[in-house]
Structure 1
Amino acid sequence: MPPKTPAKAGGGSKPASSSTPASATSSAAAGTKQKGNDSSLPMEMCSNSSSEYGFQMFDADEIRRLGKRFRKLDLDNSGSLSVEEFMSLPELQQNPLVQRVIDIFDADGNGEVDFKEFIQGMSQFSVKGDKESKMRFAFRIYDMDNDGYISNGELFQVLKMMVGNNLKDTQLQQIVDKTVLFADKDEDGKISFEEFCTVVGNTDVHKKMVVDV
């Protein structure tokens, strides 16, 4: 079943019967681009943005470590990560939904992830993050047009990223139709965040959305 938008486009792949929102997800403030990837960049941005949600999820040492990781990924020292640079993150290399993750991280939609977006995105995977914020991130993976609902077509597209050619489109469509029918309690033909949580909320998917800093 699930979400919507990080740094440029995306695709991926996954197996048949396990193509559910829960199994899918678990396998799962725009800053101005600055030249010169100075080592002081992360802490400067931290001090300027300390009141923002993402920065509240990490202490000073964690921000420094994330800054070090960010600079290591930023091969051209541009102050922001391209899709290619972002995809070098070990945690994402084998994830068929990597492009969706990037799209969500890329809050301003400029095709790159700056340090503020990086911190805010990574905060969704913090051990301190609450269940609802993690569930909303998972939901957004499927909500590709960011309208607050998962349509039949969006669910098909995301699950197609996961299963690739392991299923015929007709078989995958049957799974999608059954999933929407099961989750869509108000019978409006789409899945709301509340309906998504009803189906996925009792799983441990949110517990798997944790990255060591």
Structure 2
Amino acid sequence: MGCASSKQFKRRTPGYEDPNILAKETTFSVNEVEALYELYKKISNSIFKDGIIHKEEFQLALFRNSSNKNLFADRIFDLFDQKRNGVIEFGEFVRSLNIFHPDTPMTEKIAFAFRLYDLRCTGFIEREELKELVIALLNESDLFLSEEAVEQIVDQVWQTFKQADANGDGKIDPDEWKDFACKNPALLRNMTLPYLNLQKSTWARAVVM
């Protein structure tokens, strides 16, 4: 599958990177990288047909909706868009998906989760950021509650996160988050997608074939 597939990558994929290099830099094998290319092609041509993943295509793939504003899709897209050029190229797609692989070290998952919650990119997780996430979740579920009800929910969520604030300064830094996440691994359950272990995945075999 190797040589012919590599030529296909180079000819058709914007931001092409050698599958062998991507395999060395991630948990994926060369065959798995090539399988991910098939998924990448489907997503990157779902709306704009240009072979690059735009935010609308990314949101459509995640939530089956490309038009409604979605804070989670926006945030994850921003983290995948490592070059900060408004699109996701193939190399970025593979490297970012690697975070969710079952065999990726937990320290990398913890760091990615911290960046996900650090909406304002201040280097801290704060209550107001959690409030933004709660409001986004409620809105996406078509639940529009009073400000008082929202504050009660945020308080409950923050009480859990506040346990990570070891120095009591009202915000959570990366080291505090790491210690807290190690003690509470359930916080990271969404950071592992079992089907990304492509060698064991029936999905992967179907894509490759």
Per-residue Cα deviation, 1:125-169 (whole angstroms, up to 9, x for no partner): 112211111122221111012222112221211222122335433
Tell me how far apart the structure 2 counterparts of residues 152 and 100 of structure 1 sit (CA, whole Å).
Answer: 17
Q: Is residue 165 of structure 2 the alignment partner of residue 184 of structure 1?
A: yes
Aligned partner of 2:120 in structure 1 is 145
Q: Is residue 103 of structure 2 the alignment partner of residue 128 of structure 1?
A: yes
- Secondary structure at the counterpart of residue 114 of structure 2: helix
Q: Cα offset for 1:191? A: 1.2
Contact 1:87–1:93 (Cα < 8 Å) also in 2: yes
- Secondary structure at the counterpart of residue 60 of structure 2: coil
Q: Cα offset for 1:123? A: 0.6
Q: Cα offset for 1:183? A: 3.3
Tell me how far apart the structure 1 counterparts of residues 167 and 191 of structure 2 sit (CA, whole Å).
Answer: 29
Q: Is residue 55 of structure 2 the alignment partner of residue 83 of structure 1?
A: yes
Tell me how far apart the structure 1 counterparts of residues 128 and 58 of structure 2 sit (CA, whole Å).
Answer: 27
- Secondary structure at the counterpart of residue 145 of structure 1: coil
Per-residue Cα deviation, 1:152-198 (whole angstroms, up to 9, x for no partner): 22121122212233543333334445436443221222111232344
Give the counterpart letter for 1:194 in structure 2. D
Aligned partner of 2:151 in structure 1 is 173
Aligned partner of 2:29 in structure 1 is 59
Q: Is residue 139 of structure 2 the alignment partner of residue 157 of structure 1?
A: no
- Largest Rg, 1 or 2: 2
Aligned partner of 1:32 in structure 2 is none
* Identical positions, percent: 26
Tell me how far apart the structure 2 counterparts of residues 112 and 136 of structure 1 sit (CA, whole Å).
Answer: 22
Higher relative contact order (CA 8 A, sep 6+): 1
> Unpaired segments of 5 or more residues in structure 2?
1-6, 197-209
Equivalent pairs counted in the alignment come to 173
Aligned partner of 2:8 in structure 1 is 39
Aligned partner of 1:194 in structure 2 is 175
> Unpaired segments of 5 or more residues in structure 1?
1-37
Q: Hey, which of these two has a bigger chunk of helix by percent? A: 2
CA 1:112 to 1:174, structure 2 compared with 1: closer, same or farther past 3 Å? same
CA 1:169 to 1:92, structure 2 compared with 1: closer, same or farther past 3 Å? same
Give the counterpart letter for 2:58 in structure 1. F
Contact 1:57–1:129 (Cα < 8 Å) also in 2: yes
Instruction: Give the TM-score taking structure 2 as reference length.
Output: 0.69
Tell me how far apart the structure 2 counterparts of residues 141 and 47 of structure 1 sit (CA, whole Å).
Answer: 27
Tell me whether 106-115 or 199-208 shows the greater mean CA deviation. 199-208
Contact 2:9–2:16 (Cα < 8 Å) also in 1: yes
